[in-house]
Amino acid sequence: MFYWSIIMTKLPLESLPEALPDSIDNEKYVICTYYARLPPMLDIRDLAQGAAVEQSTGTWTLVPGETAAVRERHVAKVIGIYETPQYEFSLPSNLERRHYIIQIAFPWENFGQQIPMLLSTVIGNISLGPIKCLDMKFPKSWLKGFKGPKFGIKGLRKLLKVKDRPFVNNMIKPCVYSSCDMGAELCYQAAVGGADIIKDDELLANPDFNKLEDRIPRFMEAIDRADAEKGEKTLFTVNITDSVKKMFDNAEKAIELGANGLMVNYAAVGYSAFRAISEDPSLNVPLLAHMDVTGAMSYSPDIGIGTNLVIGKLPRICGSDISVFPAPYGKAPLLKGRFMDMARAMIMPLHNIEQTAPMPSGGISPGHVEDVISDLGPDIVIGTGAGIHAHPDGPKAGAIAFRQAIDAKMQGIPVSRYAKEHDELKKAMDSWGSGKTGFDL
């Protein structure tokens, strides 16, 4: 039996690592919800309280400085343990695992209004065990320490003068290439065809063979030319991902060279570094958050942190204007429910934090547009790479096809019917079909 079970009777109730959920001051705590799958012989209450103590005031044995006063102020509290299914009288004789939902409330003054110590606290050492953090409930008092997106959905609509339809984002393909002139021409073709946002691929940032000072002027000239022809504005979100100091140097250089958008692989550089870029007042352009590395943090069903946090809430809180996330329509084998959870975390009310524009991505072709908009609505950025660049008639026609598919959906016309009268869309549909997949559970 763990030591905290023994000493509980010697401490005031207020200093114990447990409480009724009704009794805590919600504005003083971040409440985390966990899933645990454990052998039946283990005492879940001892384990949960042990995790609460381990991640707040204590360690494996009581130390002199861990007084009742210290614990009353700083100890985390188990506020709920729910078994599913909930056995009442006996356990099945062949039971190998018991499944639990656990809620622990952490005093946020322990870690402050920042992400690194939040994560260190709520999933740090306990990430070594079979436990997954499913969600975090953030109080208004904690969120006030964050600025959130500078632009978000409303700001992007105002900036690009796009009233009510979804935006189209094109990532340049091939992912890595050495000719800035080739990349700029692809950028021009996609932009003039109707892409609202052109982004660097997440695999290309500032290598010696394709440096920012070479790429950005060529791309911005291509965008200016395309904008003059189509009568619309286009963003170019430049990948500035690097070590922290170099990332800020890249950001400053990109703005000086005329870039009107930035992009960061946020999980690779860390949430804190991403937040610092977002909150820098000299970088007053939209910021796109790319999801690289998040699968390693969240895709296991038993350990890690849920995608609704890793990809949804946390980048939004740190200032993402546009967040790329995997879509179940194309090449990502993702459950529809997880996809919708991530999107909701980006757009549902979150106290003072503005909405992030969801950007579903991953093998999306014009045939997917109908389903994407039906699922998420029009306040989204549709991300596509090869769906534009691999069009039989080239990237300009590929972008036109996406805009045609969007026009059809916004007018309530089936995309397949609209394609019969629009050649670019028809050729895209002939190449890739309706885009239906089996990943729709």
State whether 138 and 165 are in the same domain.
no
* 261-265 and 235-239 strand pairing: parallel
- Do the beta carbons of residue 342 and residue 306 sit within 8 Å? no
Compute the Cα dihedral for 119, 147, 239, 370 and give only its sign.
Answer: positive
Which domain does 386 fall in, by range?
A: 152-432
- 225 phi, psi to nearest 5 deg: -65, -45
Helix (H, G, I), strand (E, B) or coil at 242: coil
Active-site residue list: 173, 290
Per-residue model confidence (pLDDT) at position 10: 65
State whether 82 and 200 are in the same domain.
no
CATH number at 106 reads 3.30.70.150
Residue 143 burial (CB count, 10 A): 15
Residue 112 burial (CB count, 10 A): 11
State whether 177 and 195 are in the same domain.
yes
Q: Which of 143, 161, 188 is the C-terminal boundary of a domain? A: 143
C-alpha–C-alpha distance, residues 92 and 264, integer Å: 50
C-alpha–C-alpha distance, residues 224 and 245, integer Å: 30
Per-residue model confidence (pLDDT) at position 2: 47
Q: Which of 88, 122, 143 is the C-terminal boundary of a domain? A: 143
Per-residue model confidence (pLDDT) at position 435: 61
DSSP class per residue in 194-215: T-SEEE--TT-SS-TTS-HHHH
State whether 135 and 161 are in the same domain.
no
- Do the beta carbons of residue 14 and residue 72 sit within 8 Å? yes
Q: How far is CA 385 from CA 17, 60, 300, in A?
A: 50, 51, 27
State whether 158 and 138 are in the same domain.
no
- What strand order describes the sheet that includes 131-137? 77-83, 98-107, 29-38, 131-137, 304-305
Query: Domain for residue 357, yes or no?
Result: yes
The DSSP 8-state label assigned to residue 87 in this structure reads -
C-alpha–C-alpha distance, residues 150 and 289, integer Å: 13
The count of structural domains within the chain is 2
**Residue listed under structure tokens 């549909």:** 429
Q: Which of 143, 170, 200 is the C-terminal boundary of a domain? A: 143
**Residue listed under structure tokens 């953090």:** 133
Per-residue model confidence (pLDDT) at position 198: 98
State whether 305 and 212 are in the same domain.
yes
What pLDDT tens digit does each residue of the chain (441 aa) get? 444 554 555 678 888 999 999 999 999 999 999 999 999 989 999 999 999 999 998 877 778 888 888 888 999 999 999 999 998 999 899 999 999 999 999 999 999 999 999 999 999 988 887 899 999 999 999 999 999 999 999 999 999 999 999 999 999 999 999 999 999 999 999 999 999 999 999 999 999 999 999 999 999 999 999 999 999 999 999 999 999 999 999 999 999 999 999 999 999 999 999 999 999 999 999 999 999 999 999 999 999 999 999 999 999 999 999 999 999 998 888 899 999 999 999 999 999 999 999 999 999 999 999 999 999 999 999 999 999 999 999 999 999 999 999 999 999 999 999 999 999 999 999 999 876 543 333
Query: Domain for residue 437, yes or no?
Result: no
State whether 244 and 111 are in the same domain.
no
Query: Domain for residue 440, yes or no?
Result: no
The pair of structure tokens assigned to 3 is: 């030591």
CA-based Rg of the chain, rounded to a whole angstrom?
25
- H helix or E strand, kind and range, residue 80: strand 77-83
